[in-house]
Chains A and B, each alone.
Chain A
Amino acid sequence: KNEVEQSPQNLTAQEGEFITINCSYSVGISALHWLQQHPGGGIVSLFMLSSGKKKHGRLIATINIQEKHSSLHITASHPRDSAVYICAAGGNTDKLIFGTGTRLQVFP
């Protein structure tokens, strides 16, 4: 079993839909990161959180430390949101442990 599990692995949506990507982890963490990777492109850090909730534009990230679970929400999704979204756990060893990613496709 991976230390960081994401679901779903693949997700398709119509433009405007509300999207949720889930991440569960089994390791102790100091912070949970959400990253975005476009095809053939680099990786962008979206959020780093250790408690509660953060919002940036149409993106919202939440974390429940007791349940070891985090969610990334995208409101009013748009085709440009199509990318791979990666959850990564930052543990006490200072290295990130990555989930396998969720491939999102938003159709107009």
Chain B
Amino acid sequence: NAGVMQNPRHLVRRRGQEARLRCSPVKGHSHVYWYRQLPEEGLKFMVYLQKENIIDESGMPKERFSAEFPKEGPSILRIQQVVRGDSAAYFCASSSHGARTEAFFGQGTRLTVV
């Protein structure tokens, strides 16, 4: 019974390139959350998706960032035209019924923009 799987674990991108971060939730979980952890800072909410629907994207930067959770396949966090300030650890979590149930976190993807 695999937990939340994120890949890649580490991603290096040059400024201006695109970054794609993948998250496969726990089997059977339809709620996915993406969080960002900037160096030496705490975790910050980015977006909450529930199978094919974006429920809350209040933590997502208005430009360059997008997220999806298709009917089939992993959730994708996409960052276009990356800048140095996007360097961070991006964590995905899944749960069976939202924040009222236990959240399972992935190992994170550490994005470095050079």
Interface size class of B (residues with CB under 8 A): 20 to 34
* A97: interface (CB < 8 Å): yes
- A45 and B104 contact, Cβ closer than 8 Å, known pairs A86-B42, A98-B43, A100-B42: yes
Partner-binding segment picked from B17-25, B69-77, B80-88, B105-113: B105-113
B41 — nearest CB in chain A belongs to which residue? A100
- A43 and B105 contact, Cβ closer than 8 Å, known pairs A94-B31, A95-B45, A101-B42: yes
Contact B31 A41 (CB under 8 A): no
A93 — nearest CB in chain B belongs to which residue? B56
B107: contacting residue among A30, A42, A86, A99, CB under 8 A? A42
Contact B56 A94 (CB under 8 A): yes
In the bound complex, residues from chain A placing their C-beta under 8 Å from that of B35 are 96, 98
Contact A44 B105 (CB under 8 A): yes
Distance of B10 from chain A, by nearest CB (Å): 10
B105: contacting residue among A42, A91, A94, A99, CB under 8 A? A42
Complex: A42 Cα to B31 Cα, angstroms = 19
Chain B residues close to A by CB (< 8 Å): 31, 33, 35, 41-45, 48, 55-56, 59, 91, 93, 98-108
